[in-house]
Structures are given as C-alpha cells and as structure tokens.
Amino acid sequence: MISNLNVLDMTLLVWLGSLGAGLLGALTGLGGGVVLVPMLTLLFGVDIRYAIGASLVSVIATSSGAAAAYVKEGFTNIRVGMLLEVATTVGALAGASLGSVLSGAVVAVILGVTLVYSAYLSTRPQHAVSQDAPPDALACSLKLNGCYPAAEGWRAYNVYCVPGGFGVMFVAGTLSGLLGIGSGAVKVLAMDTIMRIPFKVSTTTSNFMIGVTAAASAGVYLNRGYIDPGLALPVMLGVLIGSVAGTRVLARARTRTLRVLFGVVIFFLGIQMIYKGLAGGI
C-alpha cells in the first residue's frame, strides 16, 4: 500500500495507473475496472465501495472513448448492443442494490474470483467462430446479423442463441453493479461463445455496452455517497485517454501477448483480493 504521499503525488499516481488500466481494458474488451478496483483497494488503500464508485465512473468514460471509435470503424454491432443492454441494465441495478447488503470482505472475495476467471478468459486461445449453421430465425427477425472490416474486406457473420446470450448478460450486469468492473469478460464470453459473434465484434460491442450498464449502477452508488469527485476525476481522465489510445492499437495489432500479460496480472490481483477478503484485510 502506498502511503505518506501528498495529494498531488497521489492524484498523479492514480491517473497513471488509470491510464494503463484504460489502455488494457480497451485492448482486451474486459474493461479497465478489472485493474482499477484492486489497484485502488490494494495499492492505494481506498475503501472498496469508493473504489467501485470511481471505477463505475471510469467505465462510463471507457465506453464513451472506445465505443465512438469502434462504431466509426464499423466493428460494433449496435443492434446487438442495444438489445443486450436491456438485460445488463436490469442486472446492474440488482447488483448495485446487492452491494449495499454484502460486506466489503464478501465483495472482495467475489471480485477476486471474477478476476481469476477473467484471467482465464484473457489467456485462452481465440478460435475462429464457425458460421456453417443456418441463420438463426430470431436473430434474423431482429436484424442482428452484420458485417465487420477485415484484411480482405468486409466479412459478414450471423448471430445465434439470442435468449442464451440475453440471460448471461443479466449476470454480467449484476457483476458490474456489484463489483464496478464493467463485466466485459462475461459480456465477451456471452457474445463470443454463446452467440457465436466474431471476437473483434464481441470486444467492441462489449465496450459499447459497458457505459450504459455502469451508468445504471453508478446512480445508486452516487445516491449513497460512494462516488468521491477527488478520486473519480483522475481515474476517469486516465481511463478515457488510455481507452482512446487502445482503440488505435486494436484494429492493426496482434494482442495475444498483451492478453497473456494482462491475464497474469489480473490473476495475481484476484488471488490477492481473495486472500485480503478472507483474512479480513478489507
């Protein structure tokens, strides 16, 4: 834990850490909150509920910065995002309400488990999505199928298993409201694995969605006084700059090495959060 720093130095360090979190979050689609909450809690000694409040504000900034660029480039499936946001928003309100009932130690353990699982998702190999099956009738009726830019030109894809993805998105929203992490890992899992959407489209659509999800739960935390402007402002600015930089790298860079490094970091953060929660250090 960093101590004996004046306000200016602390603000600068928080901003630098948030910038890195925003960069990694935009590149992986997991959201900067998976780094921010444990960083603020473990490194800077911030109460976990204030860390979650600041993270939710930063998640809104991440979505604002990254989503606009991805939509412009044609990666984001806006219709899928708008449909699934219904489930994530309801879940976010439920999660934020649940956060007021659970103790900080319990929230820390849940966050730690989520981080470890996010690390697994981040480091596992990404396989090409099969599009051999006939188009899904429900997805066609909702006009969810789309296309995205690839090296050889625009590539079309179909969306499958809409009800399954919708259900998992409720869980993602609940985790976002409870933990303030954006729950990009679960969102990407739902779209990439269940709905069989290409990975880059899943990642960018996740970034598009997390702002709305976070805004729903941020209002609950603001009403309870858990959003400190002095903490949230440098976090938000750092994440916003980092997320915009990440969008410029994602479209032309292979991010496998970065994803592995990111997974290793958040795995150890997750283990530390579980240990602190169980040992009563939070």
| Tens digits of residue pLDDT in 41-90 | 888 888 888 988 898 888 777 666 667 777 888 888 999 999 998 998 89
Q: What is the predicted pLDDT for the residue at 112?
A: 84
pLDDT tier for residue 281 given thresholds of 50, 70 and 90: low
Burial class (CB in 10 A: 0-12, 13-18, 19+), 133: exposed
Name residue 147's beta-bridge partners: 156
- Is 2 within a domain? no
pLDDT in tens, 198-222: 877 887 888 788 777 778 788 888 8
Q: What is the predicted pLDDT for the residue at 113?
A: 86
User: Cα dist. 47→42, 52, 172, 226, 255 in Å?
Assistant: 9, 9, 23, 9, 33
- Is 63 within a domain? yes
- Is 234 within a domain? yes
Q: What is the pTM of this model?
A: 0.72
Number of domains within the chain? 1
- Is 1 within a domain? no
Q: Which residue has the higher pLDDT, 93 or 65?
A: 93
- Is 30 within a domain? yes
Parent domain of 169: 7-279
Q: What is the predicted pLDDT for the residue at 79?
A: 92
* CA distance linking residue 37 with residue 107, whole number of Å: 11
